[in-house]
Structure 1
Amino acid sequence: MNESICYQQLAQQIEQWAIDLGFTGFGICDTDLSQHEAAFQQWLDNGYHGGMEYMARHGMMRARPNELLPGTLRVISVRLDYLPPDALIVSTMKEPTNAYISRYATGRDYHKIMRNRLKKLQQKIETQVEGLIARPFVDSAPILERPLAEKAGLGWVGKHTLILNQDVGSFFFLGELLVSIPLPVSEPVKEQCGSCVACITICPTQAIVEPYVVDGRRCLSYITIEKFGEIPVEFRKAMGNRIYGCDDCQLICPWNKFAQASSEDDFKPRKDLHSPQLLSLFAWDEATFLKRTEGSPIRRIGHERWLRNIAVALGNAPYEEAIVQALKDKREEVSELVQEHIDWAIAQQQEKTNSINRKTLRMLKAVERGMPAHQ
């Protein structure tokens, strides 16, 4: 580092560079996450990571950034808001024949966007610090990013385990830049969830098993995105029309009334993914799926799980003959995994029409007896 620049001045300069690069939040913390190790180990011991074996693969390295990158002294934590315009309107969830996709995934994949910006930030720091050791991360390494963001003052960990900020809520991405210089650290903010349990109450599968603890195996984001194989039957009705992720715990959070729409063009919803009809998405063959999800985080689940999720959502939709026919037509061209979910969906649709028929029959009998039809 040039001798004329002290670390305090450098930290201020780095923050300005981060703002210039488009980041909407910035903080610095040390690498000590030892207070989180016991809770993280208990979470693993409880099996709450489900099939995410990578969560346990590196042991406690996730809580030790200086082991991940030897020489690390500080972690620069950044925030990038992603909320699309009108995203807090939950009308899509109230239209059961439309598909609900988590708001973070309706635009372009954030990983490369943030990583490229962090790399540029690293290069700017290198102009001032000779021999800098640094490495950027965006969901790309075993690191506890939320505790780091909390320690860096970007917000506090809410009861749903996401970072909350009193000015912007929780609709933002996080990224980290590990550096080998002793920059001054930021002040953490006070936790402000208080007695509110809205996120716990609203969770469709009761995945928030206690404040600040999520059983990933029950979380619809995990089930629709991370989980391979069959979706447990016990969670299928709770999925509703959610085919990729779930935002319920964020949408209900009082702090998100302060959330502002992102100015990032890359995060604006694609036409095909904003509030599409389930039947339209179900008709996509693999080539169409790959084309329409190019550059989107959705592509990572693949066409098979895409159809699996949509089949469940179609089973949850109100009875329509067109839905039943589409399920039957698709069944002949998909894998056994998808077939199983299609069979479940057809059975659900059949149960709905049976219920309609039973109700109609009761009404006809009531009319025959000279009674009001609604009795």
Structure 2
Amino acid sequence: MTENLDSFYDYLIVGQGIAGTSLAWHLHNSGKKILLVNDSSLPSSSKVAAGIFNPLTGKKLVKTWLADDIFPYAQKFYSGLQEKLNSKILHQASIFRPFRSIEEQNSYLSRTSDPGISPYIKDPKLEVIPDHVHTPYGGMEVIQSGWVDLPVLLNGSKKYFSENNQYLESAFSADDLIFSEEHVIWKNITFDKVILCQGYFANDNKYFSWLPFTPVKGEILEVDIEKLSGSQIVNQGIFILPVSGSTCRVGATYSWDNLNWNVTENARLELEEKFKPIVKVPYKITGQSAGIRPSSHDRRPMLGIHPDQPRLGIFNGLGTKGVTLAPFFANQFSEYLVQHKELSEAVNIKRYFSLYFR
């Protein structure tokens, strides 16, 4: 219902996943009047994502892109929201990486001398090995890591913006946007600009369908683990994330085919096959969920203004690292929109304008 809304807002933000929510908070905190519109009946990758932030990834222990900048910013952002929403959102937790072999042990330990890597690795003398994990070769503990409770964040933000007359539950079609030189009109409400934060559904938007999206389907399991010890996240090809009590989330799969929101038996079998050798205590699979990550061709976020519609922008392509990328680049996009600061070339959609004009 729009009758209770105001007649003018600075920004219409379409989509209330981690991208839209982060941008809404940054524009709101900069003093701008925003309207966040979302269709909760649509599936959302943010609702099912584990929300893990991990500074060192992959078999080669590679430092996450811009980790030294985006991790401190994300933690400051989520800590601030915890206070504002009076909810537990940010969970600091180390990540224990069991070694698969002596060779891997030697390889990883040699990497710890790298000054870019060492701040993210716990002193081996202080390491804590989780009791429920099979670790014949020992392991390494990654720090400055943890997870964000995305359902709590999204629901709390929705409640806040609803109470402040800045949230609308509604379906959205870009065909309903009416552009002029001075403003944009949608549902008889006037806006200065519209920013699309639609995740996977940006594929269906005629204004930005030319961008090289490469969405990836992922599935995770919910598992009850007996004698679960500690709150550490375990990572060895898959993650094991303790959520509450004996409940854990285990994931994730990666699939570029058959992109739908349905869970599959093949994914369950794949995850359990990787999970079994790691855990040495009884467990029970209690649930399964699927999402489609909004990734880009070059694995970098996509921010910017449409080449022919100066009042229409996009914030998308956060991929698997949305919880750390979203706050940092929401801040950058907000500063671009409000203060006219330049966007980083690495994320500006201008890098793809040749696809639009060809």
Same-fold call, TM cutoff 0.5 = no
Higher helix share: 1
Higher strand share: 2
- TM class by shorter-chain length? under 0.3
TM-score (norm 2): 0.22
Structure label with greater radius of gyration: 1
